[in-house]
Amino acid sequence: MYDDHLLVVGTGIRTTGQLTVETVACMQCAARIFYIVADPVAEEVIRRFCPDGAESLYGLYGEGKPRMQTYQEMVDRILTSVRTGERTVAAFYGHPGVFAYASHESIRRARAEGYRARMLPGISAEDCLFADLGIDPSSNGCQSYEATDFLLNARSIDNSSQLILWQAGLIGDLTFRRYAYDTSAMPLLLEKLLLSYPRTHPVYLYEAPSAPGCEPVIRPIVLEQLLTSGITATTTLYLPPARATVPDPTYLSRIRLQQG
């Protein structure tokens, strides 16, 4: 059914119910499945698909170990399997192409070595956020940044648009922590946001539900409460627009001339 040497798939945020039919078929045909998932239910589902060839990559993480080092080790492990000729699947939590360096790099390296490799989409935390918060990214537009990237780079905020900041609870910490990340850079994030938003601007702290029957975590606060809000590693920040959009008179008049 599938003649790829490597298939990279997503298990969704809630594996039960969010696995696509195509992803299930791929895992059932695999000789080896390497996986990173968020809960034991997801792990059990994957192991049932490939009882003799499923292997978690979670053990490659280490307390205080740079996350990029771990990601490179994941790629090496996946590519070792591909080179043996075994039909290999790499399964990542959520969408395999969203905040997943190892998935993209595995495909890039496999293709560079002449192997057939591709990615199948999955349901990401962003998909869940749009559904749970009831927002439409086409309404006023939507900006989306990883929080550390947003802080360290000269990003321009359009505060007439929606803003999503991912992995806020990891901001400034490039290592892995099993319990609590170093959030000492959080005041700098607040400082940067206050350049574009008032202190009383509404902010939503969001966490997608990872298990069947669980509800999403949606906590509304105002921006100035960010430092005392108890942000965790799984928290996403959503900021609605702070002002109305402003029409561009130049292009508005030009399009009217074209249509007139």
Task: Spell out the domain ranges in the chain.
Answer: 6-119, 125-239
- Run of H or E residues at 24: helix 21-28
Closest alpha carbon to 91 in 66, 122, 60: 122
Burial code (b: 16+ CB inside 10 Å, e: under 16) for 34-43 equals: bbbbbbeebb
Q: Report the half-sphere exposure of 33 (CA within 13 A, side-chain side).
A: 29
- Both structure tokens of 150: 């947003």
Alpha carbon 187 to its chain centroid, in Å, reads 23
Which residue shows structure tokens 């192997």?
A: 115
- Both structure tokens of 157: 């905020």
Q: Give the tens place of pLDDT for each residue, 82-112.
A: 999 989 999 999 999 998 899 999 999 999 9
Closest alpha carbon to 192 in 145, 234, 230: 145
- Dihedral sign for Cα 211, 203, 123, 178, please: negative
Q: Give the tens place of pLDDT for each residue, 54-89.
A: 999 998 988 888 889 999 999 999 999 999 998 999
pLDDT of residue 237: 96
Correct CATH for 125-239 of 3.40.190.10, 3.30.950.10, 3.40.50.300, 3.40.50.150:
3.30.950.10
Q: Give the tens place of pLDDT for each residue, 189-248.
A: 999 999 999 999 999 999 998 777 788 999 999 999 999 998 888 899 999 999 999 888
* 179 touches 202 (CB < 8 A): no
Which of the four pLDDT bands, split at 50, 70 and 90, describes residue 260?
Answer: low
pLDDT of residue 180: 67
pLDDT at 1 over 60: no
* 28 touches 49 (CB < 8 A): yes
Catalytic positions, please? Answer: 67, 71, 93
- Residue 172's SS3 state is coil
* 8 touches 87 (CB < 8 A): no
**What is the CATH number assigned to the segment(s) 6-119?**
3.40.1010.10
